[in-house]
Amino acid sequence: MKVLLAEDDRDFGNILSQYLTISGFEVILAKDGQEAITLFRSERPDICVLDVMMPEMDGFSLGEKIKQIQPGLPVIFLTAKSLREDIIRGLKIGADDYITKPFDPEILVLRINNILKRVYSAMNDEFSISDTVLKFNTLELISGGRREKLTLKEAQLLRYFISNRNKLLTREDILTEIWGEDDYFLGRSMDVFISRLRKYISGDRNIDIRTIRGTGFILEEIRPGEPDGERF
C-alpha cells in the first residue's frame, strides 16, 4: 500500500516514513503542501497522512483539494493542536481520522491499517471474467495462471471494467468514476494504468481491453476466430 505523508518537520517526517516502511508501506514523503499535491497527482497513493500546519499550503487546504479530486481516498490529519474547531473542520473535509501530536508511530500504523481494513471490508472481494479473477480485498489478480499484486488504483480500475464487461466506457466515465474528475493530465495517467492492465491480463486469451478510438474502452470476452482489439 502506498502512503502519501506530508510533514514539514524533516526529522519527524523521516521517523514516520521509516516506521511506515518497516511496517510494510511504500511511503512518498512531501515537505510541504504544494509538493504533496504534486506527488499526489503523480504517485496516486492509497491513503494520505497530512500534517495540518505546513508552509505553501496547509493540511486542511491540501485535504480539500485531494477530496475534490478523489472523494473516496482515505485521509488522516496530524496536528499539534486539539482545538474543537480544527477537529470539526477536518471532519467536515472528510477526514477518516485525526491524530494529535505527540503520538507513538505505532498508533499511526494501527490507525492506517484499521481505516484500510474498513474501506476494503465495505467492498465486494472477488470479481471474475473468463480465466481472470480479481481479489479486491488483497489486491491480488490471477489471470492466465499468473499472479500479480495490484495497486489500489489498478484494482479499482479493473473492478470497474469487470463490473461493466462488454460495455463501452467513455474516457469521461472512467475518469469521473475512478479519479473523481475529467481532467486532461489525469487522462494521460489513465492511459498508463490501462496499458498496465492489458499487460497483466495478457495471459488470458479470451479477454481484451479494446480501444474505441475517440470514444473510450471496452473490456470484452473474445470469441475464437475474432481479431484482437485495437491497442494504443
Q: What pLDDT sits at residue 121?
A: 61
Host domain of residue 151? 126-221
Please indicate, yes or no, if residue 215 is contained in any of the structural domains: yes
Number of domains forming the structure of the chain? 2
198 and 170, same domain (yes or no): yes
65 and 141, same domain (yes or no): no
Q: How big is the chain by its Cα radius of gyration, in Å?
A: 19
Please indicate, yes or no, if residue 226 is contained in any of the structural domains: no
Using CA atoms, how far apart are residues 120 and 118, in angstroms rounded to an integer?
A: 6
Q: What pLDDT sits at residue 169?
A: 95
Which one of 78, 99, 121 terminates a domain?
121
146 and 110, same domain (yes or no): no
Please indicate, yes or no, if residue 203 is contained in any of the structural domains: yes
Q: What pLDDT sits at residue 95?
A: 87
Please indicate, yes or no, if residue 88 is contained in any of the structural domains: yes
Which one of 89, 121, 153 terminates a domain?
121
Which one of 104, 121, 138 terminates a domain?
121
Please indicate, yes or no, if residue 228 is contained in any of the structural domains: no
182 and 96, same domain (yes or no): no
What values do phi and psi take at 201, rounded to 5? -100, 10
98 and 135, same domain (yes or no): no
16 and 68, same domain (yes or no): yes
- The CATH number of residue 150's host domain is 1.10.10.10
Q: What pLDDT sits at residue 231?
A: 40
101 and 186, same domain (yes or no): no
- The CATH number of residue 67's host domain is 3.40.50.2300
Please indicate, yes or no, if residue 144 is contained in any of the structural domains: yes
132 and 96, same domain (yes or no): no
190 and 156, same domain (yes or no): yes
147 and 70, same domain (yes or no): no
Please indicate, yes or no, if residue 229 is contained in any of the structural domains: no
Q: Among 160, 171, 173, which residue's Cα sits nearest to residue 123? A: 160
Alpha-helix runs per DSSP H in 175-227: 184-200
How do the pLDDT tens digits run along the chain, 232 residues long? 899 999 999 999 999 999 999 999 999 999 999 999 999 999 889 899 999 999 889 999 999 999 888 877 899 999 887 677 777 888 888 888 889 888 999 999 999 998 888 776 655 578 999 999 999 888 999 998 899 999 988 999 999 999 999 999 999 999 988 888 777 778 888 999 999 999 999 999 999 999 999 899 999 987 555 555 444 3
96 and 131, same domain (yes or no): no
Cell (9 digits) for 121: 471490508
Please indicate, yes or no, if residue 231 is contained in any of the structural domains: no
In this structure, are residues 162 and 200 in contact, taking their beta carbons and an 8 Å threshold? Answer: no
In this structure, are residues 149 and 140 in contact, taking their beta carbons and an 8 Å threshold? Answer: yes
108 and 53, same domain (yes or no): yes
